[in-house]
Amino acid sequence: MARNIAGAIQCTVPAKDAEDSSSVNTAETMKNVLITGVAGMIGSHLLDRLLEREYTVTGIDNLSFGKTANIAHNLSNPKFTFYPVDILDFDTLKILAKDADTIVHLAAVKKIAEKDSSMATLKVNAKGTENVFEAARMWGKKVVYASTSDVYGMSPDLPFSEDGDLLLGPSMVKRWSYAVAKLYGEQLAFGYHADCGLRVVVLRYFGGFSPRSSFAWSGGHIPIFIRAILEDREVPIHGDGTQTRSMTYVDDLIDGTVAAMETDAAVGEIINLGSQEEMSVIDAARLIHRVAATGKELKLNFIPLQEVFGNYKDILRRIPDLRKAERILGYRPKHSMEEAIRKTLHSVGQSERPLR
């Protein structure tokens, strides 16, 4: 279908792919997957799971945040091919998209500190996501798009449900650039779905972690606390630490992501993936300290929010409504926070890699 509006996209879907898009899309018929952001935390674990399930995977990553070490054990697997490609490179992306049945779009620049530039967050997450959807549109491919709980912003409607209103802060606060760019990606997904018949699933991940998380800023508070406690340094607590989060072990997020890829009923839906175990930031530090049992005292460094975020108001509580995930995907997180922390600490302890 073509549109007359200036600048609007041409939505012609190739004849063969138009037929494919109306056919039943079972796991058996979609064994070729393109993962963007494959060297990142979620991407590399998804790669492991898909290879276990006999998928053929092409992975791309520009290695700006991801690590080759996360995928090194799979580089010799004949069912995996890695390309160090940037999603801003549309010409290469569209060639790689051709052979995929499904694109799982994870590549992103995540939340930023107020002192940093927001430009990469905006450009990669908006323009890069446009490129992914446009490449998918050209060949009629399904897209599973990684969005974030950040889009709920300061919504008071807990637990956050997929059809709830979203409450974002002012544009002068750079921290909102991440949520805004991801929301643009969500709207783009539904634009392509409505206008071009593209099969899309939007996943709103709530904070996840694993031994492959970044143990610096972008990995979130749990990996930062683990590193500080293992290195016997002060644990940085933003504000008074009473704000709560519901964090998820990566294996649970991967269960939900694979189910979203393989479930026809997920097409055209937004689905939360996370855990409902709510824990304050300060209690998370205490839990990690107890489980790590370093024999050293827990040292907390309370940092005023203004110093970290400027005028950004930290979100006080974040809990997902998981009823839709359970109904459509059969999703139920299996790991408690304590189990997730134990697994992460165990794996970090076995690894020779420095935490960074």
Ligand X SMILES: NC(=O)c1ccc[n+]([C@@H]2O[C@H](COP(=O)([O-])OP(=O)(O)OC[C@H]3O[C@@H](n4cnc5c(N)ncnc54)[C@H](O)[C@@H]3O)[C@@H](O)[C@H]2O)c1
Positions marked active-site: 178
Residues 6+ apart with CB under 8 A from 135: 90, 93, 94, 96, 97, 103, 141
Sign of CA dihedral 276, 351, 216, 257: negative
Minimum CB distance to ligand X smaller for 127 or for 197: 127
Q: Quote the tokens at residue 7.
A: 């600048």
Are 135 and 94 spatial neighbours (Cβ–Cβ below 8 Å)?
A: yes
- Interface residues toward ligand X, by CB under 6 A: 36-37, 39-43, 60-66, 86-88, 106-110, 124, 128, 146, 148, 205, 207-208, 218, 220
- Chain position carrying tokens 């967050």: 121
In the complex, the smallest distance separating the C-beta of residue 294 from ligand X, rounded to whole angstroms, is 25
In the complex, the smallest distance separating the C-beta of residue 205 from ligand X, rounded to whole angstroms, is 4
Minimum CB distance to ligand X smaller for 42 or for 57: 42
Minimum CB distance to ligand X smaller for 26 or for 187: 187
Minimum CB distance to ligand X smaller for 30 or for 104: 104
Q: 170 pairs with which residues across the strands?
A: none
Read off the DSSP letter of residue 70. Answer: G
In the complex, the smallest distance separating the C-beta of residue 5 from ligand X, rounded to whole angstroms, is 29
Minimum CB distance to ligand X smaller for 158 or for 298: 158
In the complex, the smallest distance separating the C-beta of residue 273 from ligand X, rounded to whole angstroms, is 9
Give dist(CA 195, CA 199) in Å, integer: 11
Closest CA to 94 of 177, 14, 179, 169: 14
Give dist(CA 235, CA 186) in Å, integer: 35
Give dist(CA 37, CA 29) in Å, integer: 23
Helical segments of 208-336, H only:
221-230, 250-262, 281-292, 305-309, 323-324
Closest CA to 80 of 122, 135, 43: 43
Give dist(CA 126, CA 108) in Å, integer: 9
H helix or E strand, kind and range, residue 303: strand 300-303
Minimum CB distance to ligand X smaller for 25 or for 147: 147
In the complex, the smallest distance separating the C-beta of residue 167 from ligand X, rounded to whole angstroms, is 17
